[in-house]
Chains A and B, each alone.
Chain A
Amino acid sequence: MRRALSLAALAAAAAFPLVAQPLGWEFYVGFASRIMIYALAASSLNLILGYGGMLSFGHAAFVGAGAYVVGILMAEGVASAWVSWPLAIVVAGLLAAAVGAISLRTRGVYFIMITLAFAQMLYYIAVGMKAYGGEEGLNLATRSGVGLGLNLKDDATFYYVVLAILVAGLYGLHRLANARFGRVVEAIRENETRMEAIGFPTYRYKLVCFALGGAVAGLAGALLANQNSYVNPNLLYWTQSGSLMIMVILGGVGALYGGLLGAVALLVLEEVFSAYTIHWQLGVGTILLAIVLFAPQGLAGLFARRPDA
């Protein structure tokens, strides 16, 4: 049943740009790309938060780092996606490894605060980078060049590239979760002391998980920079990390499609509500609150099979 649903969703997503043109919905193709990019970012956080159980409040910094790598390279004349996107992944991953190395030595609320502190530090560094826009941000002259006869400036082409990356990312998450690595990380989330007692190097596993999540976040950031043709320090601010967390929790912590469902839900809710009223945050906030209080498994929980008693 789940398999069929997933394939149907994929088919619908693939068909969307083709349908949008005649319906006059070109604007929404861009909107859909945006949702998918956030789905990727939220899924990368889901790896850390959901599967790994690490409450990282600074994830937006890794997304922002990836975005800035693309922006800075573009400003310096390097527009090729084959250079800037992998570099975004590497830089974000290394940053996450550095932040994780220090933060993972703490627990509980202190871990949350340290990750938050590091993210704020990166935010202020971005603000301080006058050469690359500082507070005002940086406009990208064009979208990254992919070659292969593809022009990312075309919204539909960009959409398909993003879709392909998202599918690859989710597939990777699926394989990782079911591999030994994923199972160990989840077990550590359940009971770290026990895993330590058995002999697993829990710190190392958590660090790798954290760095991986950061790396994929960097990729999402690179795509986001392209989507907006603009980067600015706001991407790294703590409220953005909060939004990502909302998406993960909304969609379902630790569920494969948690990031995707959460991103779709939050961004669609925002768009729908803002069409009706400027007070759309009231609607979104109320629904969020209701979900936390009454549907703790998030949206994915609604689709999950009931666990056998």
Chain B
Amino acid sequence: MSKPLLALAALSFALAAPLHAADKVKIGFISTLSGPNAAIGADIRDGFNLALKLAGNKVGGLPAEVVIGDDQFNPDTGKQLADRMLKRDRVDLLTGMVFSNIMLAVVPAAFEQKVFYVSPNAAPSPLAGKQCNAFFFVASWPNDAYHEAAGQYATTKGFKNTYLIAPNYQAGKDSLAGFKRFYKGKVVDEVYTKLGQLDYAAEIAQIRAAKPEALYAFLPGGMGINFIKQFVAAGLSRDIQLIVPGFGSDQDIIRAVGEPMLGLFDTAHWSYDLDNEANRRFVAEFQKDYKRIPSVFAAQGYDTALLIDSAVRRVKGNLDNKDALRAAFKAADFRSVRGPFRFNRNQYPVQDYYLRVVSKDADGRIVNKKIGTVFTNHGDAYVQECGMK
């Protein structure tokens, strides 16, 4: 046959074969929406929804349908919700979870059904290293990163001894391991509390007896709110410098604790005053719609939606071709509110980390101001254990 005829035949075959493009995108959103940590899940959800709203409720040009579930800070509930979303509602993508322990219980089922999970928060070390998975993308930061930055800051600032405290779960262990990786001073003690614990009187007494120069506390959500209040109430804030990772002192905790937090140092990959166009738009729109200052969680939720949007757009809605979809995610072709964004080969981000301090802005509101940079183009410590390309 002549060449043009061959080409025509090939073209007609291609057109005839059903592209199997979806007519809408179904996203399962499971998060912690009740209990003392509900503020975090609510922020992620609000940031995520804001991005969708600004895109006309579309993802990659297709109408988006989001199925929301509340894991109630309970892995069993999270698993059952995921089961329902994967098997009954047949979602195309899964996202939303706040806590690593819940996420680690849920994602194996998603991976098995070849459904991508895009994490707007939790990013534990096992999935960065040995158990890295092609269906897992992180839109936030590797769990250790904030803590590494904090450890670096503590070393630079010259704290000779530091007391460490974190909850007893994967992210907690990651956090203190991360801090120690970059902290060159002496670790006075390393204490793991029960996940969800609210009364820290016993631990505070131990800290007082140990007399450290600085205290590094990874206690997100309701745990952090209570700890900071009790720490200040026990008079320890006068003698010990409290350092926390960025989400230990963000808006959800500021709203609950307030003035006692002024002067607290923290590290994060994003700050509300980051100077780029995407962020300025995000912060303005978020404050307009929700009447509050966005936290780092809201920023992550927003970025997650943008990432998903860019990937779906790149595959033109064809969500069944998993390899193409994966490549589309990896390209990360979107304008993140944190500035330049790219993935490492384990599908965790490589980015900058800043030093922030809790202070008042020009209007007298309490915010986290960026005052310096701790790391640039920082990846994670586990990527070499990952076998993916």
* A140 CB to nearest B CB, Å: 9
Known: A135-B168, A135-B195. A27 touches B87 (CB 8 A): yes
- Hey, which chain A residues are within 8 Å of B76, CB to CB? 228, 230, 232, 234
Q: Does A30 contact B (CB under 8 A)?
A: yes
Whole-angstrom CA separation of A255 from B360 in the bound complex: 67
Q: Does A136 contact B (CB under 8 A)?
A: yes
Whole-angstrom CA separation of A30 from B79 in the bound complex: 13
- Hey, which chain B residues are within 8 Å of A26, CB to CB? 87
B83/A136 in contact, CB under 8 A: no
Q: Does B340 contact A (CB under 8 A)?
A: no
Whole-angstrom CA separation of A118 from B104 in the bound complex: 29
Of the candidates A27, A134, A230, A278, the one whose C-beta lies within 8 Å of that of B88 is A27
A139/B104 in contact, CB under 8 A: yes
Using a Cβ–Cβ cut-off of 8 Å, how many residues does chain A contribute to the interface with B? 14
Of the candidates B84, B101, B168, the one whose C-beta lies within 8 Å of that of A27 is B84
- Hey, which chain A residues are within 8 Å of B169, CB to CB? 134-136
Q: Does B376 contact A (CB under 8 A)?
A: no
Whole-angstrom CA separation of A232 from B88 in the bound complex: 24
Q: Does B170 contact A (CB under 8 A)?
A: yes
- Hey, which chain B residues are within 8 Å of A137, CB to CB? 75, 101, 105
- Most chain A C-beta atoms within 10 Å of own C-beta, residue among B74, B75, B104, B108: B75
Range class of the B interface residue count? 20 to 34
Q: Does B213 contact A (CB under 8 A)?
A: no
Q: Does B333 contact A (CB under 8 A)?
A: no
- Most chain B C-beta atoms within 10 Å of own C-beta, residue among A26, A136, A228, A278: A136
Majority secondary structure of chain A interface residues (helix, strand, loop or mixed): helix
Known: A228-B79, A232-B76, A234-B74. A135 touches B101 (CB 8 A): yes
Query: Inter-chain contact count A-B, CB under 8 Å?
Result: 42
Whole-angstrom CA separation of A136 from B75 in the bound complex: 8
* B133 CB to nearest A CB, Å: 13
Whole-angstrom CA separation of A137 from B99 in the bound complex: 13
A134/B79 in contact, CB under 8 A: no
C-beta contact mask, B288-322 vs A, less than 8 Å → 1, else 0? 00000000000000000000000000000000000
B108/A139 in contact, CB under 8 A: yes
Q: Does A229 contact B (CB under 8 A)?
A: yes
Give residues of chain B (70-102) contacting chain A, Cβ–Cβ below 8 Å. Answer: 70, 74-76, 79, 83-84, 87-88, 100-101
* B215 CB to nearest A CB, Å: 23
Q: Does B10 contact A (CB under 8 A)?
A: no
Known: A26-B87, A27-B83, A27-B88. A232 touches B109 (CB 8 A): no
* A306 CB to nearest B CB, Å: 40
C-beta contact mask, A55-99 vs B, less than 8 Å → 1, else 0? 000000000000000000000000000000000000000000000
- Hey, which chain A residues are within 8 Å of B170, CB to CB? 136
Whole-angstrom CA separation of A30 from B87 in the bound complex: 10
C-beta contact mask, B37-70 vs A, less than 8 Å → 1, else 0? 0000000000000000000000000000000001
**Closest B residue to A26 using CB positions:** B87
Whole-angstrom CA separation of A27 from B104 in the bound complex: 22
Known: A135-B168, A136-B104, A137-B105. 11 other contacts (CB 8 A): A27-B83, A27-B87, A30-B87, A135-B169, A137-B75, A228-B79, A230-B79, A230-B105, A232-B75, A232-B105, A278-B70
Q: Can you show 17 pairs from A to B with CB atoms below 8 A apart?
A: A26-B87, A27-B83, A27-B84, A27-B87, A135-B168, A135-B194, A136-B100, A136-B101, A136-B169, A137-B105, A139-B104, A228-B76, A229-B109, A230-B76, A232-B76, A234-B74, A234-B76
Across the A-B interface, the 10 shortest Cβ-Cβ residue pairs = A136-B101, A27-B88, A27-B87, A136-B169, A135-B195, A139-B108, A230-B105, A135-B169, A137-B75, A232-B75
